[in-house]
Amino acid sequence: MRTGIATVPLDYGKCPPWLFLRMKKLGRAIAETIVEEFGAEEFLRRLSDPIWFQSLGCVLGFDWNSSGLTTTVLGALKVALFDIQDSLGVYVCGGKGKTSRKTPEEINTYGISRGFQFSDKLIYASKTAAKVDSALIQGGYQIYHHNFLFTKNGNWTVIQQGMNTQNQTARRYHWYSPNVKDFTEEPHSGIISALIGKPLNLTAKESKENKEISTGLVKEEPKTFLRDISLILEKSDSLTKQKRLPGFATVELNNLEFHWHPVLKENFNLKRLKKTIEKAHFLKPKNFEELLTTKEVGPRTIRALSLVSEIIYGAKPSYDDPARYSFAHGGKDGTPFPVSRSTYDKTLEIIERGIKKSKISIQEKVEAQKRLVKNFHPVK
């Protein structure tokens, strides 16, 4: 399989009805084949791999480098699997725009109608994953698409996408519940992006101290935090000119890192920030995850807390982009690990069986097989 970071430019068009119909048929057949062969959990695991998902979209016939691949493939799967979801054991919630905000409601409906006892945990996972990717990884991407897939065992996969209107690109975030040990520390199974930047990344292990101090600022005394953030904002120009302030050392700040600092550029609404911090203080969050999931605590509040933790207390957060190369089967040069020929061949076999099983014309099956060959290199 081809591996790497795919270019995902924003696409504002619509999928033609004739193509969407064929994507539904082929997507359903591939899903049924994988579940029949490996089970529902394996189907979720594969969807959580960003490169496997990208290749699936290519096989289904959508543009390989379009942001619409995410929204259209998942839209097709949601419709295609709806009438077989109970027998398949896979449920698809959410979608694009307003539909994404109805995800908790859809999960709750399944919980009531199917008697799932874990629906509350799924709703929490859906909301928290969305908040993590909007508030803890701040690189200018606004989440506009959120799909939540789960099985009868309560395992889940989140696939959501953010857009950056300034550089006209999209970024896709993948989660898989068995891999999530901590929602706020490196929880992703993969993030695929066209650009690698310098976002505020509070999901990194290196940001642990910054998050601990942020939580402490809210739990202990909001007045101290509000005083510090006001001081930083009022004196930001003086800092760049190296003027001494009480508690600050005179250091050289005139460098690239300072200029792209994602927090210092923010014009905080101090009245709103004060209200949010006081509310969080009243609720006494036990840890950073509880702070993050507090209602009204969003990206700006998190940025403000992170800034004070860094500037006042010296707890520097990470600015390393969590988007990385993702490998489904390893690389031919052994990086990051040698190719497993049996796994690779099995993947090809399963998708090809799905193509043959689908209820589409012979010509359409031939075209799908061509796309499969194009996106999967044979191992020699």
In this predicted structure, what is the pLDDT of residue 21? 81
- pLDDT class for 378, splitting at 50, 70, 90? very low
In this predicted structure, what is the pLDDT of residue 380? 42
Contact 134, 302 (CB under 8 A): no
Q: Give the SS3 label for residue 54.
A: helix
Looking at 91-105, 218-232, 346-360, which range is the least confident one? 346-360
Looking at 46-60, 86-100, 198-212, 329-343, which range is the least confident one? 329-343
CA gap 146, 301 in Å, rounded: 22
- What number is the average pLDDT over the span 280-295? 95
- What number is the average pLDDT over the span 40-61? 86
User: pLDDT digit string (tens) for 175-196?
Assistant: 999 999 999 999 999 998 877 7
What token pair was written down for 299? Answer: 């990206």
By C-alpha distance, which of 179, 168, 107 is closest to 141? Answer: 168
**374/204: higher pLDDT:** 204
Backbone angles phi, psi at 204, to 5 degrees: -70, 150
Q: Which residues contact 88 (CB under 8 A, 6 or more apart)?
A: 31, 32, 35, 40, 81
- What number is the average pLDDT over the span 21-39? 86
In this predicted structure, what is the pLDDT of residue 336? 41
CB-CB neighbours of 184 under 10 Å = 21
Quick check: 20 pLDDT over 50? yes
CA gap 30, 10 in Å, rounded: 27
Sign of the dihedral through C-alpha 187, 190, 193, 196: positive
User: pLDDT digit string (tens) for 228-276?
Assistant: 998 888 765 544 343 344 444 433 444 434 334 444 456 688 999 999 9
In this predicted structure, what is the pLDDT of residue 244? 40
User: pLDDT digit string (tens) for 336-356?
Assistant: 444 455 654 665 666 667 667
Give, to the nearest 10 degrees, the angle between helix 17-38 and helix 50-60: 130
Quick check: 335 pLDDT over 50? no
Quick check: 64 pLDDT over 70? no
User: For the chain, what is the mean pLDDT?
Assistant: 81
Q: Give the SS3 label for residue 122.
A: helix
In this predicted structure, what is the pLDDT of residue 212? 96
By C-alpha distance, which of 170, 126, 163 is closest to 148? Answer: 126
Quick check: 286 pLDDT over 80? yes
Looking at 24-28, 281-285, 293-297, which range is the least confident one? 24-28
Contact 155, 91 (CB under 8 A): no
Looking at 23-37, 107-121, 342-356, which range is the least confident one? 342-356
CA distances from 170 to 20, 120, 130, 163 (A): 21, 30, 15, 4
**12/279: higher pLDDT:** 279
In this predicted structure, what is the pLDDT of residue 259? 37
In this predicted structure, what is the pLDDT of residue 25? 82
CB-CB neighbours of 178 under 10 Å = 13
CA gap 222, 277 in Å, rounded: 6
Quick check: 218 pLDDT over 80? yes
In this predicted structure, what is the pLDDT of residue 250? 37
In this predicted structure, what is the pLDDT of residue 343? 52
